[in-house]
Structure formats: structure tokens, C-alpha cells
Amino acid sequence: MAERQHVLDAISLRLREVIPALRDAAPEADTDLRDYPEFDSLGVLELLVWIENEFSLTIPDEELTVESFSTPAKIADYIVARG
């Protein structure tokens, strides 16, 4: 099982690479990613592909919910629960 803090750190690093507003400071665990224009449908898709590759997961369509993917903490919890 993946360690939550390691997963959260990896997610934060990835988000800093793709969301310009986060480049100078890592997002807080509860940062609502929907507040950033880059986190549109394409941004979400790119993040999901990265998650699947980085953590060797397959994310079923029915699990793609705002409840699971709107903040770094929720994303980390989802990955850890399935890792």
C-alpha cells in the first residue's frame, strides 16, 4: 500500500508542474482544484492518466467523481485506498 504522505507529495509536485498559479508554493491538501482554470476536463484527464501511470492504477469511469478528485487530499486518499 502506498504511503499517504508520499502520494500527497507526488500529487503536489505534479500539480505545481501543470498549474502555473501553484508553481511558487505547493497546494494545501484541501485546496479545491476546481478553482484553477487549468483543472478543466483536459487537465483532469491529464492528471488521471498521470495517476494511472505513476501509481499503476486503473480508474474506472464510475469512480470519477468530484468527491474523489477535487483536492490533493481526496486524490491521495483515493490512491492509497486502491494502492
Considering the entire predicted model, what is its pTM? 0.91
- Distance separating alpha carbons of residues 13 and 35, to the nearest angstrom: 18
Residue, of 63 and 83, whose pLDDT is higher: 63
Domains of the chain: 4-82 (1.10.1200.10)
pLDDT, one tens digit per residue, over 14-25 is 999 999 999 998
- The confidence score (pLDDT) of residue 15 equals 95
How many other CB atoms are there within 10 angstroms of residue 36's CB atom?
17
pLDDT tens-place string over residues 28-45: 999 999 999 999 888 889
Give me the sign of the Cα torsion angle 36, 66, 58, 4.
positive
Q: What is the pLDDT of residues 42-65, one digit of tens each?
A: 888 999 999 999 999 999 999 988
